[in-house]
């Protein structure tokens, strides 16, 4: 956790409602030599349903594998999040740690181990110390309930600020609330989610519909952000629905309020995803990249990612250099259909290139002024079809190198 708050951070932590049926607590397991809480324990009332999306990494953590096996069952009673140690690439010792955590919580709550969801974040390759995890859980069991800010701060690693958001919707004539907390700053690339995010709602939602709604929300949010093109071994986003709002359960898209719930969930996920980008390691610019005119939305998405992940594009933005040639390069290397003489590029509202060459009489001054701000927009029109996509990223500064060169020290 950094002591230097990102210049792109919001002014403060938002006011969040409590979610009936959800009780967060935090404790110190002392996974690292730091003077802060590093274990989050959330209890969920009986009847809570769950959905989730996890990393597409071929080297997932034991926690990710545990969640994948439990998610199809659709029920949850608890969440445990460890910060400071990802427990990834740790073989049988790592799996034993997850099983021990789930069993200890299950005994406490008199539930099935599969009702306990576990996530960990931090250094890869170091087994999670079981003795510290067990002691941390004992402390968490006895701790007083905490607020959302404490819970969000406890799951942080290299994050510079605690991240959370809220939305609401009217479902079956009742107002339901949604709250999300998230962590993520580096090792962020959109091959699912690339961070740990946890969403809680008092809505009654059947697990199948909750999963479909989360899949769609993820596709337009967490899977549209990138900081450094690196996909984590531990990426997990889980959504828990307690049903305490007592609405008629949302079963499918024909249920009363289904559209409103979907919209609220999508809004919440996008808010959380943007917070991750705004805390990108070393970031000083929040960058929106819009690609249109592609042969398909999927093609536009891949082109946008090629631009967003280019170190040359990201360093040019960091240096406030209106080098649109690097955008051309990133489009050309994406491996997607593109025609040089149909390509158009803009920075902010200023068109800089069209029909494969610089706009006649192009004045760089307004572009330079745009790049001096902290909110940057890049637009690309491929001129081939109706496909479009938006991706969000940040610039690449020396701060990123400093943070990651010293990560384990």
* Confidence (pTM): 0.93
User: What pLDDT sits at residue 193?
Assistant: 42
Q: How many CA atoms lie within 13 A of 310 on its CB side?
A: 26
Catalytic-residue membership of 194 = yes
Q: How many CA atoms lie within 13 A of 55 on its CB side?
A: 27
pLDDT averaged over the chain? Answer: 93
Helix (H) or strand (E) run with residue 293 in it: strand 286-294
CATH code of the domain occupying 22-278: 3.60.70.12
What is the C-alpha separation between 124 and 74, in angstroms, rounded?
Answer: 29
Closest among 342, 264, 327, 331 to 303, alpha carbons compared: 331
Set 194, 201, 226, 231: catalytic member = 194
Measuring CA to CA, how many Å separate 37 from each of 20, 101, 272, 295, 343?
Answer: 24, 17, 22, 49, 51
User: What pLDDT sits at residue 406?
Assistant: 65
Binding site feature residues: 157, 183, 194, 281, 404, 409
**Contact by Cβ (8 Å): 180, 221:** no
Span 225-244, pLDDT tens digits: 988 766 677 789 999 999 99
Considering Cα of 169, then 11, then 277, then 80, what sign does the dihedral take?
negative
DSSP, collapsed to helix, strand or coil, labels residue 119 as: strand
Span 312-344, pLDDT tens digits: 999 999 999 989 999 999 999 999 999 999 999
**Contact by Cβ (8 Å): 323, 352:** no
What is the C-alpha separation between 330 and 159, in angstroms, rounded?
Answer: 29
Pick the CATH number of 286-405 from 3.10.20.340, 3.65.10.10, 3.50.50.60, 3.30.342.10: 3.10.20.340
More confident residue, 269 or 399: 269
For residue 302, report the phi and psi dihedrals to the nearest 5 degrees: -70, -35
Helix (H) or strand (E) run with residue 64 in it: helix 62-70
Tell me the domain boundaries of the chain. 22-278, 286-405
What is the C-alpha separation between 225 and 182, in angstroms, rounded?
Answer: 14
For residue 236, report the phi and psi dihedrals to the nearest 5 degrees: -150, 135
Return left, alpha or beta for 64; rule: phi > 0 is left, psi -120 to 50 is alpha, else beta.
alpha
What is the C-alpha separation between 114 and 76, in angstroms, rounded?
Answer: 8
User: What pLDDT sits at residue 192?
Assistant: 46
Determine what percent of the chain is predicted with pLDDT higher than 70.
Answer: 94
Span 286-305, pLDDT tens digits: 999 999 999 999 999 999 99
**Residue 359: other Cβ atoms inside 10 A:** 15
For residue 395, with 0-12 CB atoms within 10 Å meaning exposed, 13-18 middle and 19 or more buried, which class applies? buried
**Residue 92: other Cβ atoms inside 10 A:** 9
| The token pair that represents 268 in the structure block | 């919440």
What is the C-alpha separation between 110 and 376, in angstroms, rounded?
Answer: 51
**Contact by Cβ (8 Å): 292, 388:** yes
Span 142-167, pLDDT tens digits: 999 999 999 999 999 889 999 999 99
Determine what percent of the chain is predicted with pLDDT higher than 90.
Answer: 82
Residue-by-residue DSSP string for 5-29: --TTS-SSPPP----TTEEEEEE--
Q: Is residue 188 predicted with pLDDT exceeding 60? A: no
Buried b (16+ CB within 10 A) or exposed e, 368-380: eebbeeeebbbbb
Binding site feature residues for substrate: 157, 183, 194, 281, 404, 409
| The token pair that represents 48 in the structure block | 């809570």
Expressed in angstroms, the distance from the first to the final Cα of the chain is 13
Confidence of residue 58 (pLDDT cuts 50, 70, 90): confident
Span 389-405, pLDDT tens digits: 999 999 988 877 776 67
- For residue 406, the 8-state DSSP code is T
């Amino acid at each position: 956790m950094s002591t230097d708050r990102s210049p792109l951070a919001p002014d403060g932590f938002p006011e969040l409602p409590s979610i009936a049926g959800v009780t967060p607590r935090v404790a110190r397991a002392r996974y690292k030599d730091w003077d802060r809480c590093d274990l989050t324990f959330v209890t969920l009332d009986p009847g809570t349903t769950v959905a989730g999306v996890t990393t597409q990494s071929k080297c997932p953590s034991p926690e990710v594998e545990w969640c994948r096996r439990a998610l199809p069952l659709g029920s949850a009673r608890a969440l445990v999040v460890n910060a400071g140690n990802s427990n990834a690439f740790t073989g049988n010792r790592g799996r034993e740690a997850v099983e021990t955590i789930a069993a200890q919580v299950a005994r406490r709550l008199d539930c099935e181990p599969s009702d306990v969801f576990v996530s960990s974040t931090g250094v890869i390759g170091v087994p999670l110390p079981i003795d510290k995890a067990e002691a941390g859980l004992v402390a968490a069991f006895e701790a007083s309930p905490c607020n959302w800010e404490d819970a969000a701060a406890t799951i942080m690693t290299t994050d510079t600020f605690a991240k959370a958001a809220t939305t609401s919707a009217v479902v079956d004539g009742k107002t339901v609330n949604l709250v999300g907390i998230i962590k993520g700053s580096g090792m962020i690339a959109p091959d699912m989610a690339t961070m740990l995010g946890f969403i809680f709602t008092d809505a009654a939602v059947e697990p199948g519909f909750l999963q479909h709604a989360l899949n769609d929300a993820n596709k337009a949010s967490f899977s549209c952000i990138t900081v450094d093109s690196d996909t984590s071994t531990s990426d997990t986003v889980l959504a828990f629905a307690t049903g305490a709002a007592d609405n008629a359960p949302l079963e499918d898209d024909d249920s009363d309020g289904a559209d409103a719930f979907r919209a609220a969930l999508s809004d919440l996920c996008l808010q959380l995803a943007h917070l991750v980008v705004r805390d990108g390691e070393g970031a000083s610019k929040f960058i929106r990249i819009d690609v249109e005119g592609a042969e398909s939305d999927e093609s536009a998405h891949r082109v946008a990612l090629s631009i967003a992940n280019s170190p040359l594009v990201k360093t040019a933005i960091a240096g406030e250099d209106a080098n649109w040639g690097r955008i051309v390069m990133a489009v050309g290397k994406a491996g997607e259909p593109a025609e040089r003489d149909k390509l158009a590029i803009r920075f902010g509202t200023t068109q800089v290139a069209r029909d494969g060459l610089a706009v006649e009489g192009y004045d760089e001054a307004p572009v330079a002024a745009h790049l001096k701000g902290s909110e940057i927009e890049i637009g690309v029109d491929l001129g081939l079809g109706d496909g479009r996509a938006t991706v969000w990223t940040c610039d690449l500064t020396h701060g990123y190198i400093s943070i990651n060169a010293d990560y384990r020290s």
